[in-house]
Chain A
Amino acid sequence: MKILVGIKRVVDYNVRIRVRPDGRGVETDGVKMSINPFDEIAIEEALRIRESGKADEVIVVSIGGDECQQQLRTALAMGADRAIQVNSSEALQPLSLARALLKVAQSESADLVILGKQAIDDDNSQTGQMMAALWGRPQATFASRVELDGTTARVTREVDAGLETIEVELPAVITVDLRLNQPRFVKLPDIMKAKRKPLDRTELGDLDIGADAPLSVSDFAPPPARGGGIKVDDAAALVAELKQRGLV
C-alpha cells in the first residue's frame, strides 16, 4: 500500500505575523519557514502506518517553487521514502491544488492520501475535501484517530458536537487534526540520510490540470485592535463592574 502526503511550506507558527505596509501580503523576508504543522502530523501518521506494517511506501509531495524542497527534505529526514516537488512559480488556490494532488495520487496509484486539516497561512481548510470530491472518493476530515483494517479506515473526527467516528473505504483522503499524534524530532544522521533519498521535480504545466477562475485576494490589513481595558482590585469590584455593564 502506498500513502501520499501533501505538505505546504508556510511561515513558522511561532512567528508573529506582520502585514506589509503596502497591504499586498504579510512580511516573509527573513522569516523562518516550516512545514505546515498539521502536515507534519500527516507525515507522522503515514510513517506510523508504514512502521506498523500496513503500508509499504510513504511519498511526500509539495507544490511550489524550489524553496519548498527544504520542507520536502525535512519530511524525508522524518522518514518518508521519496519526495515529489510539483514546480509552480505562483501560489495556487485550493481547487487547483486539489487537481494537481489528484494527478499525482493517480499517477502514483496511492491508496491513501493524508493532508493537514488546514494550512496555517490561508486557513482555507478546503484542499482535502476538494480532492476527495474530484476523485469521487470518501473524505475523513479533522481526524484525531486513524485505524486501518485492510482496505477500510476507521477514523475518529473532532467535530463541534464531540468525537464522530466514520468508516471509509480506500482509496480515501484523510485530513488530520492536532491531537492525532506528536510528530517525531529529526536527528542529524537522518538529515544526512535524507540527502540521498530521491526527490523528483515535475512541472505543474505537465500535470495538465486546466485553468480555474481564481479568487482575487487583496487589501491585506491587520485586525482591528481592542480598546484599552481597566484593572479591578477584587471579586467585589469585578462583579460590581459586570453588573454596571449589564453583563451579569
Chain B
Amino acid sequence: MMSKILIIAEHDSNTLNPSTAKCVSCAAAIGGDCDVLVLGSGIGDVSRQAAALEGVSIVIETDAAHLAHPLAANLAPEVAAAAGAYSHVLGPSTTFGRDLVPRVAALLGVNQVSDIMAVEGPTTFRRPIYAGNAIVKVDVPAETTVVGTVRAASWKEAATGGSASIESRPASSEAASHSRYVSLEAGDGERPDLQSAKVVVSGGRAFGSAENFEKLYALADKLGAGVGASRAAVDAGYVPNDMQVGQTGKIIAPELYVAFGISGAIQHVTGIKDAGTIVAVNKDADAPIFELADIGLVGDLFTVIDEMMALLD
C-alpha cells in the first residue's frame, strides 16, 4: 500500500518555519503522497510557502480565529479529524511539534515515534535515545497510523519550486474553553534562528559577563551567524535561555559551529554533534570539547575573536 503522509505545518502566521521543509524531506524518504496541513488564522502566505515546497501534493488550509495561536488543545482535534485519510502524520520535533503531536497520537489511539532521524522503510525508523548516546530501530505495528516527530538536525530542508494546490478545510471543532493564549515574549529576532542558521557561534561561562558577549554578537554579525550559549552561560545570566544549546536546550546541526570558551559537557555536546564542522576555542588544552572538535585552537577567546574580526574584514 502506498503511503499517504500528512505534515503539520509550523509557522508564526506569516512565515513557514524551516522545520516543515525538513518534514517534507523525511516524507520523501518514506515515499508516497505528501500533503501539508496549515492551521491558523490569516495564513494565506504560509499556505503559499508550503505549496512551493518540492514534493508536496496538496496544502490543506484550515483558517479559523481560535487557531490563531498554537494551543495544542485547539490544534490537535483538527489534525486528528484530518488524519483519517492518511497512513502517516508527521510534525517537527520542535517545541511546537513536541507539544502537539503526542496529543494527536493519543486522540488517534496510537503510540508515537519521537525524533525520527532516519527512515529505513515506510514503518521502520531510527531515533536517538539517552540524549543521542544510543540509537534504536523502531517498527510501527501494521494497521496503525504512523504518528511521528521529525528531528530537525537530521534532515535538510526540501527544495522550493513546487506548485501544490491549496484546498480549504473548515474547522471541525470549537475553541477549547479551558485553554487560553496570553503572550509570547520573543527572543532577539535580529540574527538567524539557531535551528536554521548555517553558521552558529557559541559562548560559555568564560565570557564572564553579558557585556563581553557583545564581542561574540559582533563576530556573529560579521559571519551572518546565529548565536548560541552553553547552559553555564545561561545559568550565569549572561544570555537569555532561548540561546541555550544542548540536551535541555536546542539541538542544532549548522554547517559550521564555533564554540568559544565552552568546555564540552555531555549536555552541550549532545546538542551539536550533528554539526558539519565543529571548531573549539578554549584556554584549557584538556577541555573535553577538543575530543569532538574538527578544528581546535588553544588560546584566549577574546584575543581570538579580535583577530578573527580583523582577518574577516
Residues of A whose CB lies within 8 Å of any CB of B are: 11, 16-17, 19, 26, 93-95, 98, 120-134, 137-139, 141-142, 144, 154, 157-169, 172, 177-179, 212-223, 226-227, 229-239, 241-242, 245, 247-248
Distance of A59 from chain B, by nearest CB (Å) = 22
8 nearest A-B pairs in the assembled complex, by CB-CB distance: A235-B307, A133-B106, A129-B102, A130-B106, A126-B102, A219-B137, A17-B133, A213-B141
| Contact indicator A248/B109 (Cβ below 8 Å) | no
Distance of B258 from chain A, by nearest CB (Å) = 9
| Contact indicator A123/B255 (Cβ below 8 Å) | no
How many Å lie between the Cα of A161 and that of B183 in the bound state? 12
Distance of A31 from chain B, by nearest CB (Å) = 12
Q: Is B277 interfacial (CB-CB < 8 Å)?
A: yes
| Contact indicator A160/B242 (Cβ below 8 Å) | yes
| Contact indicator A17/B134 (Cβ below 8 Å) | yes
How many Å lie between the Cα of A163 and that of B195 in the bound state? 16
Distance of B134 from chain A, by nearest CB (Å) = 5
Q: Which secondary structure dominates chain A's binding surface?
A: mixed
Distance of B201 from chain A, by nearest CB (Å) = 11
Q: Is B121 interfacial (CB-CB < 8 Å)?
A: no
| Contact indicator A238/B242 (Cβ below 8 Å) | no
| Contact indicator B178/A223 (Cβ below 8 Å) | no
Binds A, one of B31-39, B112-120, B161-169: B112-120
How many Å lie between the Cα of A230 and that of B276 in the bound state? 15
B51-72 near A? 1/0 per residue, CB < 8 Å: 0000000000000000000011
- Given contacts A95-B105, A133-B106, A213-B144, are A162 and B135 in contact (CB under 8 A)? no
Q: Which of B71, B114, B296 contacts A123 (CB 8 A)?
A: B114
| Contact indicator A214/B134 (Cβ below 8 Å) | no
How many Å lie between the Cα of A217 and that of B136 in the bound state? 7
Q: Which of A19, A120, A126, A248 contacts B223 (CB 8 A)?
A: A248
Residues of B whose CB lies within 8 Å of any CB of A are: 12, 71-73, 76, 94-96, 98-100, 102-107, 109-115, 128-141, 143-144, 176-187, 193, 195, 199, 223, 240-242, 248, 250, 255-256, 266, 273, 276-279, 281, 290, 292-299, 303-304, 307-308, 311-312
Q: Which of B107, B110, B248 contacts A213 (CB 8 A)?
A: B110
Q: Which secondary structure dominates chain B's binding surface?
A: mixed
| Contact indicator B114/A124 (Cβ below 8 Å) | yes
B contact residues around A227 at 8 Å (CB)? 294
Q: Which of A120, A130, A167, A218 contacts B179 (CB 8 A)?
A: A167
| Contact indicator A216/B141 (Cβ below 8 Å) | yes
How many Å lie between the Cα of A126 and that of B178 in the bound state? 20
Other 20 A-B pairs with CB < 8 A, given A121-B130, A236-B311, A238-B295: A26-B130, A95-B109, A121-B129, A126-B112, A131-B106, A141-B98, A144-B241, A157-B95, A160-B94, A160-B95, A160-B96, A160-B195, A160-B250, A161-B184, A163-B242, A166-B179, A231-B295, A232-B295, A237-B297, A248-B256
How many Å lie between the Cα of A142 and that of B76 in the bound state? 17
| Contact indicator A223/B134 (Cβ below 8 Å) | yes
Q: Can you show 26 pairs from A to B with CB atoms below 8 A apart? A: A26-B130, A95-B106, A98-B106, A123-B114, A123-B131, A129-B100, A131-B106, A133-B76, A139-B99, A142-B95, A160-B250, A163-B242, A178-B248, A212-B111, A215-B111, A215-B113, A217-B136, A218-B139, A220-B134, A221-B136, A223-B132, A226-B294, A231-B295, A234-B307, A235-B308, A236-B311
B contact residues around A129 at 8 Å (CB)? 72, 99-100, 102-103, 106
Q: Which of B109, B139, B179 has the most CB of A within 10 A?
A: B179
Q: Which of B109, B133, B277, B307 contacts A223 (CB 8 A)?
A: B133
| Contact indicator B131/A231 (Cβ below 8 Å) | no
Q: Which of A133, A138, A169, A214 has the most CB of B within 10 A?
A: A133
B contact residues around A127 at 8 Å (CB)? 102
Q: Which of A214, A234, A239 contacts B299 (CB 8 A)?
A: A234
